Amino acid sequence: MAARRLTARPSPGATPVAQMIRLQNVSKTYFTKGKRDGVEALKPVDLHVPQGQIHGVIGLSGAGKSTLIRCVNLLERPTTGTVTVDGQELTGLSRDALNQARHRIGMIFQHFNLLTSRTVFDNVALPLELMGVKKAEIRERVTPLLELVGLADKASHYPAQLSGGQKQRVAIARALASRPRVLLCDEATSALDPHTTGAILELLQDINQKLGLTILLITHEMEVVKTICHRVSLISGGELVEEADVGDFFTAPGTRLGRDFLNDFLELEPPRTLVERLEESPGAKTHPVVRLAFSGDAVSTPLISRLARECGVDVSILQAKVESIQDRTLGLMIAELMGDADETRRAIAYLETHDLKVEVLGHVQRDD
């Protein structure tokens, strides 16, 4: 499958934004002792994330998300390709230089990875201690970080005394201690309830805006992508199969897998009784069942009644939803278009000329 568009395109006349993360031809095959064939977890991929962007990578379990994100800071060394962060090619660095470079890449994990024997303050201070920062400076740097993540009053608590959301806040503060340019988030909200997830996502968004931090996150949750990402890549079988701005992805995913993710997220599927009757090809006495997605002006235009008037088809709406995706309003509908073959063809063309994305889900036999 071809990737749709792999780099963020600046609008004409706009100043090009610096690339903060650049993966070129990066692949990873895991080899196990005693076995000749390895597991090709990541096929050669290219990924570019501009400075200041929040980029999400979404995929099913086993698709290669963790492998991809761990290749960015070389926790996994890629089998092929180059990784460049903030203009520095990490794949070409010596071990010492790589350790230095990693200070500019923070990372948070699903299970927080805090040291249970250290207090909140000391967990956040740890990377600074390892960097040899003096005690007084550590205090000066850790205190505002605890304030930033809303845990100033928990400095002397131990991880066991904190909720999951609070633990992730400590992990975020720790990741920020070395003043990174990039934050990698490995399923950072997957262990949290929806309310806490929302609060952590808000914090990440806040950090992105306040500090101009570039964020690369992996997730299997569309909610995460919808809430904070600017751009999203879809990963499947170790390949990046689609990339788009989040608004476009939610309006018109370019792959079957993208549509499946969206339909699951929106819980927008035709009724089961209809699915059982759906045929792939049109017949002499069938009419199409379509999924319509519309955004912008089309949301407020009475297109369905015009469709009936101008194309002579009846429209039976089976499901409809209006969603807010960041600053865009998105309408989605599953409908049967009832008319003869010419009329329904014209109706679909009419919808497409009015900027609706139309996907024919199948055809059902007419009752007449």
Residues within the interface to ligand ATP (CB under 6 A): 30, 39, 41, 59, 61-67, 220
Q: Distance (Å, rounded) from C-alpha 258 to C-alpha 267?
A: 14
Residue 29 or 319: the one with the smaller Cβ distance to ligand ATP is: 29
- Name the minimum Å distance from CB 111 to ligand ATP: 12
Q: State the burial class of residue 140 (Cβ atoms within 10 Å of its Cβ: 0-12, 13-18, 19+).
A: exposed
Nearer to ligand ATP, 66 or 227 (CB): 66
Token pair of 25 as six digits: 């031809």
Q: What is the 3-state secondary structure (H, E, C) of 286-314?
A: EEEEEEEEEEHHHHHCCHHHHHHHHHCCE
Taking the complex as a whole, the smallest distance from the CB of residue 41 to ligand ATP amounts, in Å, to 3
Strand order in 357-365's β-sheet? 314-325, 328-338, 286-295, 357-365
Between 19 and 67, CB nearer to ligand ATP: 67
Residue found by looking up tokens 């890549």 in the block: 233
Q: Report helix, strand or coil for 166.
A: helix
Q: How far is the CB of 112 from ligand ATP (least distance, A)?
A: 16
> Computed from CA positions of residues 270, 272, 273, 275, in that sequence, does the dihedral angle turn out positive or negative?
positive
CB of 300 to ligand ATP, least distance (A): 39
Q: Which is nearer to ligand ATP, 24 or 29 (CB)?
A: 29
CB of 34 to ligand ATP, least distance (A): 13
Q: Is the dihedral of CA 130, 136, 137, 140 positive or negative?
A: positive
Q: Cα dihedral angle (298, 302, 305, 309), rounded to 10 degrees? A: -80
59 vs 270 by CB, closer to ligand ATP: 59
Q: How far is the CB of 295 from ligand ATP (least distance, A)?
A: 29
Nearer to ligand ATP, 42 or 351 (CB): 42
For 68, phi then psi, to 5°, come to -60, -50
Nearest residue (CB) to ligand ATP, 68 versus 145: 68
Cross-strand bridge partners of residue 363: 279, 288
Instruction: Compute the least distance from the CB of residue 39 to ligand ATP, in Å.
Output: 4
**If you ran DSSP here, which 8-state letter would residue 2 be given?**
-
